Amino acid sequence: METVIEANALNVGFKHKQILFDLSLSVRRGEIYGLIGPSGAGKTTLVKTIIGMEKAQSGSIEVLTHAMPNLAVMENIGYMAQSDALYTDLTAKENLDFFASLYQLKGENKKKRMEYAANLVNLTPDLGKKVANFSGGMKRRLSLAIAVLPDPEVLILDEPTVGIDPELRLSIWEELQTLKKKREGDSCYDARHG
């Protein structure tokens, strides 16, 4: 099976602190790859290095066979950050619409993807509400909806179900499993605490 994320001998650090030491990993197409570790271990740092937001001091990182950072590859990665990057003055629907446009979605396909993503996280009834009035869990759910919007080949989720109730958490994981089976094109990278 094709490798979609390939990290080799990565060393990443900030000023005087080394965070990742000689780290290598390989994620194949269709694989759900979970990363578990204590707070501060470097999970988010690794995620950011994979998508090209942090620079490695040495080593290499390729996504979909391209060295990162690579703008075209970025468009094929759904990324849900640990802290929600949402426009709180806009409604949930306006946020989805904005990010859908960033992902170059248009017309009927854009509408379908927005409906699918909102439904995935049970936010359809709340689409008209301003995000400023959302709870923490609702913001997490909207962030997850945004990550899946473009139907990406690689889905990177940093603690996706924190603050989401157990029932919805289960249904989100079931849906991610379905996505993986259905498309064989989704690779999920999930960072969470052990």
Q: Which residues bind ligand ATP (CB under 6 A)?
A: 14, 19, 37, 39-45, 82, 193
Helices 136-148 and 107-120, packing angle to 10 deg: 140
Q: Nearer Cβ to ligand ATP, position 19 or 118? A: 19
Which residue in 180, 189, 115, 192 sits closest to 157, CA to CA? 189
Shortest Cβ 6–ligand ATP spacing (Å): 20
Judging by beta carbons within 10 Å of its beta carbon (0-12, 13-18, 19+), is residue 99 exposed, middle or buried? buried
CA 83 to chain centre: 12
Shortest Cβ 192–ligand ATP spacing (Å): 8
Please give the structure tokens belonging to residue 31.
Answer: 């694989």
The span from the CA of 151 to the CA of 113, in Å, is 8
Q: Nearer Cβ to ligand ATP, position 20 or 172? A: 20
DSSP 8-state secondary structure symbol assigned to residue 122: T
Q: Nearer Cβ to ligand ATP, position 40 or 166? A: 40
Q: Nearer Cβ to ligand ATP, position 19 or 188? A: 19
Which residue in 32, 138, 182, 164 sits closest to 146, CA to CA? 138
Q: Nearer Cβ to ligand ATP, position 46 or 172? A: 46
Shortest Cβ 36–ligand ATP spacing (Å): 10
Shortest Cβ 177–ligand ATP spacing (Å): 24
Shortest Cβ 161–ligand ATP spacing (Å): 14
